[in-house]
Structure 1
Amino acid sequence: MKFENTNLEQHVINTSLLTEIMEELGFVLAGQWDYERVTYDYKFEVRDEVFYLRVQAYSVEGSTDSSSSKVQLLTPILGKHYYPHGVEYGEDEVIPTSVVERSNELLKKAQEQIELVSKFIIL
Structure 2
Amino acid sequence: MKFEHIEIADKELKFESLHYAAESLGFVHAEQWDYERVMFDLKIHNNQEIYYLRVPAYAIKGDIPKEDTIVKVMTPILGKYYYPHGVEYAGEDFPKTVVEKCNTKLTQLLEAVNK
Q: Given the two structures, how large is their TM-score scaled by the length of structure 2? A: 0.95
Question: In structure 2, what is the equivalent of residue 55 of structure 1?
Answer: 55
> In the aligned structure 2, how far is the partner of 1:65 from the partner of 1:52?
22
- Structure 2 unmatched ranges of 5 or more: none
Cα deviation, residue 26, structure 1: 0.4
Say which structure is richer in helix.
Answer: 1
The whole-number CA distance in structure 2 between the counterparts of 1:23 and 1:52 is 15
Q: Distance in 1 between matches of 2:57 and 2:75?
A: 9
Q: Aligned-pair distance for 1:5?
A: 2.2
- 2:107 corresponds to which residue? 108
**Equivalent residue of 1:102, what SS?**
helix
Name stretches of at least 5 consecutive residues in structure 1 with no aligned partner: 117-123
Percent of aligned pairs with the same residue? 44
Cα distance between partner residues in 2 of 1:16 and 1:6: 21
Name the amino acid aligned to 2:100.
E
In the other structure, the counterpart of 2:13 is 13
**Which has the larger displacement, 69-78 or 5-14?**
5-14
User: Do the aligned residues in 2 keep the contact of 1:30 with 1:38 (CA within 8 Å)?
Assistant: no
Cα RMSD, aligned residues only: 1.0
Structure 1 ranges of 4+ moved more than 6 A: none
